[in-house]
Structure 1
Amino acid sequence: MTPGSYEVEFGESGPTGPELQRLTGAGADDAERVQEAALRPKGLAEFVGQPQVRDQLSLVLDAAKVRGKAPDHVLLSGPPGLGKTTLAMIIAADMGSQIRVTSGPAVQHAGDLAAILSSLEEGEVLFIDEIHRVARAAEEMLYVAMEDFRVDVIVGKGPGATAIPLDLPPFTLVGATTRSGLLPAPLRDRFGFTGHLDFYSIEDLQTVLTRSARMLGIEATPGGLGEIAGRSRGTPRIANRLLRRVRDWAQVRGRGIVDLEAAKAALLVYEVDERGLDRLDRSVLSALCRRFGGGPVGLNTLAVSVGEEPDTVGEVAEPFLVREGLLSRTPRGRIATVEGWRHLGLTPPDTIPTV
């Protein structure tokens, strides 16, 4: 096994072995943590939301099984927490094969990738998370491996170096990326299927939470789950995290039931407001309105004012604020919208810059 990668085996109840340890902590034997690891859906039928991607992917997998061959390479794109890793595991489970998991930052040399590829078995799934961060040298090796199922191992250095071709068994590469625009066209074009995952509706998130509450043994009401779903930014990962925090509040300070009252009280404690904004989001929006008159203001200045790094503000807080229509990015800097002012309970100025 190469550094930065691991294999996942599947039992009747889902991931086992290294994957379960990765999700729950090495050696964890607490029953609740095991249940939390089992929250990932085991098949497309259990996967909530993303109906187009599910339908298209189902056709790809069913056709591959009819032909008795490995499915085409799959690229999954979309924001974090929407289920890209889960879908990769579903692909492997559906095809009855193992999955080798690694990430783009872990593949920084062609030798790293060659070691992973040469150890694959026929029909195995190779999942590369954040594939847009694979090093360029390894990326070029990946082209040949995906298309011709071959890697060229370089022996020696300088003019006397020799390329020895090594045939690979047919495998399926599943790549996941949060920034598909950074993928070079030659790599993107080698994927036989590309699926983009969108943010979930509140109804779909409530379905996810209902299933999670049942699997975790949490007593919950539709009102409580609906309140959590509405504050989860359209992201199942956030929804499941908030569900566990509301459960904590209900067990310690409430009646042990995740109802509407418990959800509102717990999310107030954890500083998640009714639109899903957390402490960082509100700090950015408040600084923009109260300190800079609504903008425009540059990212670096805004980040300094809230005591965060520019990357944190630009990649963590801003995308959600923009999507909610509370903040705008313009060539001159960041601007608070009318809705942003009102969300803070402030009166917007008579005129708001648009450029």
Structure 2
Amino acid sequence: GDLAAILTNLNEHDVLFIDEIHRLNRQVEEILYPAMEDYALDIMIGKGPSARSIRLDLPHFTLIGATTRAGLLTSPLRDRFGLIQRLDLYKPADIALILTRYAGLLGVGIDADGLEVLSTRCRGTPRVAIRLLRRMRDYAQIIGDNVINREICDIGLKALDIDEIGLDGNDRLIMRIIAEMYDGGPVGLDTLAASTGEDAVTIEDIYEPYLMQIGFIAKTPRGRILTRGGYEHLGLPYSLRDNPRRVSDAQITLNELLDGQGDL
């Protein structure tokens, strides 16, 4: 009902954006099918044998769906999109432009050094960059003459427990538990969640993707392992040779990659 109301209130050439589109249930998806194909909305009136369908014409509009889990989209919905694109993380230069504009909206100054620090510690994500900018604004107003510079960022980010590449305490906790409690892995998601006290979905959707993108953890057929880069970031000695499980698991992963079947 809510989606039908939104569709019927669209104007010509409007854009309808649905975030996390993979969460739509099947019934809602079926409402979208005729809207995407024929710019029409089918509505059932009545119940039982007397029920009938009425088709309402919709204005021409553009539907944009966003998701970080494209594999969860049903094939009928995915195939109806005319264009499918993958978006990469923002580069620091692009983040700096966003931060400059948003700093103006917040009424706070930010110099080149402050932009460099925040744009390299935000995981390439604008919403994270803006969140950090807001917190640095608070520090700048109190101790920085309303200007965000490198010194303000260093003080504020240290208080937030965010390191030089944007990892927070939870990221490092996940890596340290894999390294110290499970000898670098492999360790299953549910086991890791129980050990960290975090929900498994939270680890898989929030923390794990970025740690994998920067090469600090890897997925193998038997679970997650901490890579050499992860060990080095924690300041721990890399212990692959000391852990037969990791040697065996790393060999499995290597063989899959050579066969073109690896999925890290």
TM-score, scaled to structure 2? 0.86
Structure 1 counterpart of 2:179, which letter?
C
- By how many angstroms is 1:208 displaced? 2.0
Mapped partners of 2:13, 2:120: distance in 1: 40
Tell me which residue corresponds to 2:134: 244
- By how many angstroms is 1:350 displaced? 4.6
Tell me which residue corresponds to 2:185: 295
Tell me which residue corresponds to 1:98: none
Tell me which residue corresponds to 1:142: 32
Give the number of the structure whose residues are more often helix, by fraction.
2
In the alignment, structure 1 residue 348 sits paired with structure 2 residue 226: no
Mapped partners of 2:55, 2:219: distance in 1: 49
Tell me which residue corresponds to 2:122: 232
- By how many angstroms is 1:310 displaced? 0.9
- By how many angstroms is 1:349 displaced? 1.0
Unaligned runs of 5+ in 2: 253-264
- By how many angstroms is 1:255 displaced? 4.3
- By how many angstroms is 1:199 displaced? 0.1
Mapped partners of 2:200, 2:93: distance in 1: 34
- By how many angstroms is 1:160 displaced? 2.9
Mapped partners of 1:244, 1:338: distance in 2: 34
Secondary structure at the aligned position of 2:147 is classed as: coil
In the alignment, structure 1 residue 112 sits paired with structure 2 residue 2: yes
Mapped partners of 1:214, 1:121: distance in 2: 33
Tell me which residue corresponds to 1:268: 158
285 and 152 in structure 1: CA distance in 2 versus 1, 3 angstrom threshold: same
Tell me which residue corresponds to 2:62: 172
- By how many angstroms is 1:207 displaced? 2.3
Bigger RCO of structures 1 and 2 (CA < 8 A, at least 6 apart): 1
> How many residue pairs end up in the alignment?
245
Mapped partners of 1:122, 1:210: distance in 2: 34
- By how many angstroms is 1:315 displaced? 1.2
Secondary structure at the aligned position of 1:117 is classed as: helix
Mapped partners of 2:111, 2:7: distance in 1: 48
The farther-off stretch of 228-237 and 141-150 is: 141-150
Mapped partners of 1:332, 1:226: distance in 2: 39
- By how many angstroms is 1:340 displaced? 0.7
Mapped partners of 1:148, 1:288: distance in 2: 51
Mapped partners of 2:115, 2:32: distance in 1: 43
Secondary structure at the aligned position of 1:196 is classed as: coil
Secondary structure at the aligned position of 1:194 is classed as: coil
Unaligned runs of 5+ in 1: 1-110
Mapped partners of 2:186, 2:81: distance in 1: 41
Secondary structure at the aligned position of 1:290 is classed as: helix
Secondary structure at the aligned position of 2:148 is classed as: coil
The farther-off stretch of 160-169 and 329-338 is: 160-169
Secondary structure at the aligned position of 2:18 is classed as: strand
Tell me which residue corresponds to 1:86: none
Mapped partners of 2:58, 2:220: distance in 1: 49
- By how many angstroms is 1:299 displaced? 1.0
Tell me which residue corresponds to 2:50: 160
Mapped partners of 1:114, 1:251: distance in 2: 47
